Structure 1
Amino acid sequence: MEARTATLTEIRDWLTDFLAAKLERSPEEMDSTENLMHSGVDSLTMVALGLSIEETFGFEIEPDFFSRFSTIDEVAKAAHDRVHSPAQEPGGDAV
């Protein structure tokens, strides 16, 4: 997936697939509105998810990221907004 052109749906699908694989579930079993911790995601999976987001989408995850964005939908929206923010564009000003 090309991060700079990824749609919100593509990012949500990527997150769903990643977490479903880690939790040994099918993507259809994942609820994008459920709190990640309530859906069985543990702290090690959160770390792995954060690292994969950083590598895939090219932005740094802050220490409180998952406390502010705690569902697949919220994480997808936050990732989409950051990927498409002017500060993430080549030559863009840092925020």
Structure 2
Amino acid sequence: MPTATTATIRQWLTARVAHYLERPPAEIDQHTPLVELGLDSVYAMTLSGDVEEEFDLLVEPTVAWDHPTVAALADFLHDQLASS
């Protein structure tokens, strides 16, 4: 998905996190740390795999901890896509 905008990536991440936490996407604050939202290490690792599949990027399994909010992670992924 090389043409993904930061907003599109944020929307996708928000939907994935909401799915894992079994909450509506509207309840996911993009600036709240994922761990505070309730995302545990298992889902964080799963999210890294989902990111790899969705965006065809190779990311570290710790990507959700290194970029701990939806907004930060979306910015990072957008930068990675732009440079690839």
Sort the TM-score into its range (normalised by shorter chain): over 0.9
Cα displacement (A) at 1:44: 0.8
Aligned counterpart, 2:18: 20
Cα displacement (A) at 1:12: 0.1
Structure 2 unaligned segments of length 5 or more: list them: none
Runs of 4+ in 1 over 3 A off after TM superposition: none
Structure 1 unaligned segments of length 5 or more: list them: 89-95
For the residue of structure 2 that corresponds to 1:4, the secondary structure is coil
Cα displacement (A) at 1:66: 2.8
* Residue deviations 1:18-65 (CA, integer Å, cap 9, x gap): 110111100100010011111100111001100000111111112442
User: How many aligned residue pairs are there?
Assistant: 84
Aligned counterpart, 2:65: 67
Of 53, 75, 87 in structure 1, the residue corresponding to residue 51 of structure 2 is 53
Q: In proportion to residue count, which structure has more helix?
A: 2
Q: Determine the C-alpha separation between the residues in 1 that align with 2:21 and 2:47.
A: 12
More RCO (CA 8 Å, sep 6+) = 2
TM-score, with length taken from structure 2: 0.93
Aligned counterpart, 2:6: 8
Larger radius of gyration, structure 1 or 2? 1
Identity percentage of aligned residues: 36
Aligned counterpart, 1:92: none
